[in-house]
Structure 1
Amino acid sequence: MLWLSLLTAAIAPGMALLVYFYLKDRYDPEPVHMVARMFLFGALLVFPTMVLQRALVLGLGESPVLYSFVYSAGVEEFFKWFVLYFVLYKHAFFDEPYDGIVYSVAVSAGFATVENVFYALLNFVTFSDLLLRALLPVSGHALFGVSMGYHLGRAKFSQQREKRFLLFAICIPILYHGLFDYILLLRTNWMFLIAVFMVFLWVRSLRKVRKANDRSSRRHLHPQEEVKMSTFS
């Protein structure tokens, strides 16, 4: 059935991105049940987010800047940060810098997946529409999650600068997300600008992935992994 195919196409990108970043954990993969739980938290965040966004629009009115940096980026990234900080940050499973990235991407992927499903079911979409969303909004959420998770990892294991990195963990994703949405609202040159911006986000995110893995306390337990990485670097 067509609707089932569209539903699968809407779910697949978020799951694929989550698996990709999960497998990037070189030293101590997280329990699948915990990752799934954070994915579910992210999925459930869509509902309070929609309510608050609607209330803000009614109360403050609409403008491209408000929509991009407050209603969309501000509200969505705050809720993600809130869940990660109060549910995960002091959890025993969060014991490596890269764990922040895994769990943050899980929350972001859950949010983006439900958002994508709503879009697919409530609009007359084609598979090309869903492909574009996979490359832009869904990937965007995952990459914002990498930034948030990286700085949460820095905060957790850099106690002298904990507050600074906790602030970075929410402010930088809001900035990236806001710029992303603002570019999409532009009527001229948006395709070129968003392509450049997505390349920037991917390059920066993969660097954060490498840095977070390099800060693992378990690196010395995997000398063969270090040899492999040095061979291909």
Structure 2
Amino acid sequence: MLVFSIIASALAPGLALLTYFYLKDRYDQEPLHIVVKIFLLGFLIVFPVMILQRGMILWFGDSPVVNSLIISAGVEELLKWFVLYHLIFNHIEFDEPYDGILYATAISLGFATVENVMYAWYSQAAFGPMMIRALLPVSGHAMFGVIMGYYIGHAKFTDGKSSRGFLLLSLLLPWMWHGLYDLILSMMTHYWLWFIIPLMVLLWYGGMGKISRANNRSPFRIIKRDEEVKT
């Protein structure tokens, strides 16, 4: 019973947030089975990430700055971006800007959910610590996914050099914010909450704006509006 409670409390935040972002797809919802597959791919990339991070720690040492910016944020965001670009960017179902946000948050939340389960399993965490993880690391990964997906959506529906620029931003910006997040946690042992909470508020505020703007650029918006006018 205890094991079930631990696993359930670890799975709940990621699944709840995934449901939230899925329902935010206002005009043309994606096939649920594809979203679930991308979510499960987030599970799988945990293992190559762990292997790469372990090797890099042995190579570079355990410097807080290098660990936060390169080994943690860099490896994690690069692998998520790599999977998204190669499996989703040219997928037929990626047909509106918000889809980038949905698929990026799906893979990010899959990754964060496995991290959460591992943390809960090995630490036997109580309700309080699990709530903190739901509010911080899990939702943090979701916001990094929103940023990544927003610019991937821009790149998908923009031509020429601007497309490549947005594609580069889709990797660099979540990497930067993730690195800042990890840097605060690793270097501020006593006052980290004073910095993390404003950072999370800023990320959520910016993320909600990106979701709204991505939905507003949907080509299905006009179609749906015309259908509503006719009825």
Task: Normalising by structure 2, report the TM-score.
Answer: 0.95
Matched, 1:100 2:100: yes
Query: Out of 188, 196, 201, which is 1:199 matched to?
Result: 201
- 128-137 or 179-188, which moves further after superposition? 179-188
Q: How does 1:11-22 map to 2 (within 5 A)?
A: 11-22=11-22
> What is the count of residue pairs matched by the alignment?
227
Q: What is the distance in 2 between the residues matched to 1:225 and 1:76?
A: 42
Task: Identify unmatched segments of 5+ residues in structure 1.
Answer: 228-233
Once the two structures are overlaid, the 10-residue window that deviates more, 172-181 or 218-227, is 218-227
Give the drift of 1:226. Answer: 9.4
Superposed, 1:165-204 pairs within 5 Å as 165-185=166-186, 186-204=188-206
Alpha-carbon offset, residue 189 of structure 1: 2.2
User: 1:159 is paired with a residue of what secondary structure?
Assistant: coil
Relative distance call for 1:202 and 1:88 in structure 2 (3 A) is: same
> In structure 2, what is the equivalent of residue 217 of structure 1?
219
Cα distance in structure 2, aligned partners of 1:31 and 1:141 = 22
In structure 2, give the amino acid aligned to 1:180. Y
Aligned to 1:208: 210
2:42 aligned with 1:45: no
State the shift of 1:225 in Å: 10
Q: 1:12-68: CA deviations, max 9, x gaps?
A: 000111111111111000000000010011110000000000000000001111111
1:230 alignment counterpart = none
Contact 2:113 / 2:138 at 8 angstroms: preserved in 1?
yes
Report the Cα offset of residue 138 of structure 1.
0.3
Match of 2:129 in 1: 129
User: Shift of the alpha carbon at 1:124?
Assistant: 2.9
Structure 2: 5+ residue runs without aligned partners? none
What is the CA RMSD across the aligned residues, in angstroms? 1.4
Task: Judge conservation of contact 2:184–2:192 (CA < 8 Å) in 1.
Answer: yes
Shift of the 207–226 alpha-carbon distance from structure 1 to 2, 3 Å rule, reads: farther
How many percent identity over aligned positions?
A: 53
Question: Which amino acid in 2 is paired with 1:192?
Answer: W
Kindly provide the amino acid, as one letter, of the partner of residue 213 in structure 1: N
Question: Are the aligned partners of 2:104 and 2:145 in contact in 1 as well (CA < 8 Å)?
Answer: yes
CA gap 1:2/1:59 in 2 versus in 1, 3 angstroms: same
Of 69-78 and 216-225, deviating more is: 216-225
Runs of 4+ in 1 over 2 A off after TM superposition: 222-227
For 1:194, the aligned partner's letter is: I
